[in-house]
Structures are given as structure tokens and as C-alpha cells.
Amino acid sequence: MIRLSYRPTRLGPVPAGLALAFALLATPAYAQQQDEQLWLQVNTNVPIADRLRITLEQIARGSDRQGGLYQTEFGGLLGYRVAKGIELGFGYRKVGAHNGNDSADEDRLRQQVVATLGPFVTRFRIDERFNPGGREIGFRIRPLIRYNHRIGAGKLALFVSHESFFLPNTTRWGQRRGYERMRNIVGLAVPIGKQVAADIGYLNQYRVARGGSGAEMDHALTLQLTINLNAFAVPRVHD
């Protein structure tokens, strides 16, 4: 059974790592367009073998500006622990657009490496986007870092995370190469029994001005539930 899990530090003097993580939350104060959103995600981790697991994923995102539910994602991720604290993953997602979201539905493949280093969790992910608007594949590079800081003697923890999106190629259906956006989250990791945990936080997503479009900033309340069947534990990171 895989034993990858985040290990938050105990509450005490705020370490330099936490201060640096908070600094990652600093985003541009001005954006041409802003939006209030709600992000919901449920991950269910199912063990297959001692080092192998599959995660079933469901995501729903709502937007004030886009008239309610604007994006859904359903998929799975196969994870394999190659060494203590290091896991490789390969997955698929079906992405749907709704209401005011004028993006096309997409199929996405992804590969990732997740490493747990004490209170830090890092993830390096590469996405391949398949869009009905053209045959070109849109690639995305998404490095993420998360810091967990334990509060008290239990498993309650404060966390902060930062993720950047780099697009290495341009496609005819709309992807433009370059640095596209960042996501920063601050929140609480809350245990709910032995097999369920929740991450509740504030997410700030900033899309830089590029290609003639103005900058955009989203303010989201985010809730992620992680269900570990048979006490199966993996690092928790948002998508």
C-alpha cells in the first residue's frame, strides 16, 4: 500500500519556508477584469497494488461573471510510487464548458511527478490539450509547490501553494505560447475521520495580459475533498 502523504510541521515560530510561501501569494493588485468564483473538487484514491493507485477526479467550477456553472472536469490518474516520497502519474480528463464559457470541450492527457519533502509538496505536470477546433496539440507546463504548517498536535494544518502555467507552443485553435497565468491558494487542511480530508481555502488566479486581451483576476472559494479508501494516502494538491 502506498504511504505517500504530506507531513505538516507543528505550530511554532513561523519558519522561513512559510514566509516564502506567503510571498508567493502576492499577485498584481490591478486586473482589467475580475470575477468571483466557487471551485469544488472530489478525489477518490483507490489502491490497486502496493505501489500503484488510481485517483478518480470530479471538478465543478462556478462563476458570477459567466452565469453559474462554467466548467466541469471528469477523469482519472494512475499513480506509481517509484521511491519514498516520489510518485509518477499519468491521467486523462474530459473538460466541459457551460453557460457563459465560450471555450470548446477538450480532452486532456497529463504526466506528472509529485515529491514530498517534509512539509513541502512539489508537483511538475505536463498537459496535452486536444481541441475540436484543430489538429494541433496544445502543451502546458505546470510547476506547483505547496507548504503545510501543522496547527497543534492533530492533523489540522495551514497550507499555501503556488502554481504557474507556461505554454511552450501556439495552436490555430487559440493557444498562444508564453507565460499564461498563476494560481495561489491559502487555506486549511481539515481531517474528517480516518479516510476523508478537506482543503478549504481562498484561490487567486491571475491571467496576464497577452495577445491583445487584458489581464484577468479570479477570486474563488475552493473546497476539495480527498477520500482515501483503505487508509490509502497520497499528497494533496489542487488542480
Instruction: For residue range 39-89, list pLDDT tens digits in order.
Output: 999 999 999 998 999 999 999 999 999 999 999 999 999 999 999 999 999
**Cα separations in angstroms, 204 against 2, 8, 211:** 32, 23, 22
16 confidence band (pLDDT: 50, 70, 90): low
Percentage of the chain exceeding pLDDT 90: 75
What pLDDT was estimated at residue 4?
41
For residue 42, which amino acid is it? V
Rg (alpha carbons) of the chain, rounded to whole number: 18
User: Residue with C-alpha cell 485553435?
Assistant: 173
- Record the pTM: 0.86
Average pLDDT for residues 123-136, to the nearest whole number? 96
Average pLDDT for residues 116-123, to the nearest whole number? 95
Instruction: For residue range 179-222, list pLDDT tens digits in order.
Output: 999 999 999 999 998 889 999 999 999 999 987 788 999 999 99
